[in-house]
Chains A and B, each alone.
Chain A
Amino acid sequence: MNPLSTTQAVALPTLMELSHVSRVYGTGEAAVWALRDVSLVIRAGDFVSIVGPSGSGKSTMLGLLGCLDVPTEGTITVGDEEVTRLADAARTRVRGKSIGFVFQQFHLIPHLDALGNVETALLYRSLKPAERRERAMASLERVGLGRRADHRPVQLSGGEQQRVALARALVTEPKILLADEPTGALDTKNAANVMEILSGLQSTERAVVIVTHDTNIANSAARKVSMLDGGIVADEVLRR
Chain B
Amino acid sequence: MSTFKDLVRVAFTGLLARKVRTLLLLLGPMIGVAAIIASVGLTDSAKGDLKQKVSKLGTNLIEAAASSSFGGQNPTLPTDAVERALTVTTVEKVSAVVELSNIVVTPYDEAREKFETVPIPVLGADDNLPNVLQVNLVSGRWINQFDEESDVRAAVIGVGLAREFDVLPGENRTIELNGIPYGVVGILNSVELEPGFDNAVFISFARAEIDFLSDDVEPNKMYVRCTEGTEAETSEALKTAVNLGGPQEITTDIKSEALELAAQSDRQLQMIVISMGLLAIIVGGLGIANVMSISVIQRSAEIGIRRALGHTRNIIAIQFLFEAIVVGVIGGILGVLLGMLAIFIGASIAGWVFVMASWLAPAGIILAITISILAGLYPARRAAALEPLETLRLG
Contacts and interface: CB of A to CB of B under 8 A. Distances in A.
Contacts of B130: none
A109 B302 contact: yes
A127 B315 CA distance: 16
A107 interface: yes
A7 B202 CA distance: 117
Given A107-B305, A111-B17, A123 B389 contact: no
Interface residues of A, number: 33
Contacts of B389: 63, 66, 68-69
Interface of B: prevailing SS: helix
A127 B312 CA distance: 17
Contact of B309 (A69, A112, A120): A120
Interface in B1-59: 2-3, 5-6, 9-10, 13-14, 17-18
Interface string B295-322: 0000001101111111111110000000
A116 B374 CA distance: 30
A59 B395 CA distance: 14
A96 B181 CA distance: 101
A125 to B, nearest CB: 8
B54 to A, nearest CB: 54
A124 B308 contact: no
Nearest to A132: B6
Contact of B395 (A63, A68, A107, A126): A107
Interface in A213-235: none
Nearest to A62: B389
A116 B313 contact: no
Nearest to B313: A88
A36 interface: no
A175 interface: no
Interface string A115-131: 01000110110111100
Interface residues of B, number: 30
A127 B5 CA distance: 11
Interface stretch (A71-79, A97-105, A142-150, A188-196): A97-105
Interface in B171-224: none
Given A63-B389, A69-B389, A116-B13, A123 B6 contact: yes
A59 B13 contact: no
Contacts of A92: 307, 310-313
20 contacts: A66-B389, A68-B307, A68-B388, A89-B314, A92-B312, A101-B308, A101-B309, A105-B301, A107-B305, A109-B302, A109-B305, A110-B302, A111-B13, A120-B305, A121-B310, A123-B10, A124-B310, A129-B5, A168-B309, A172-B310
Given A66-B389, A68-B308, 19 more contacts: A68-B307, A68-B387, A68-B389, A89-B312, A89-B313, A93-B310, A96-B309, A101-B305, A103-B395, A105-B395, A107-B395, A111-B18, A112-B13, A124-B6, A124-B310, A126-B3, A129-B5, A129-B9, A168-B309
Interface of B: 2-3, 5-6, 9-10, 13-14, 17-18, 301-302, 304-315, 387-389, 392-393, 395
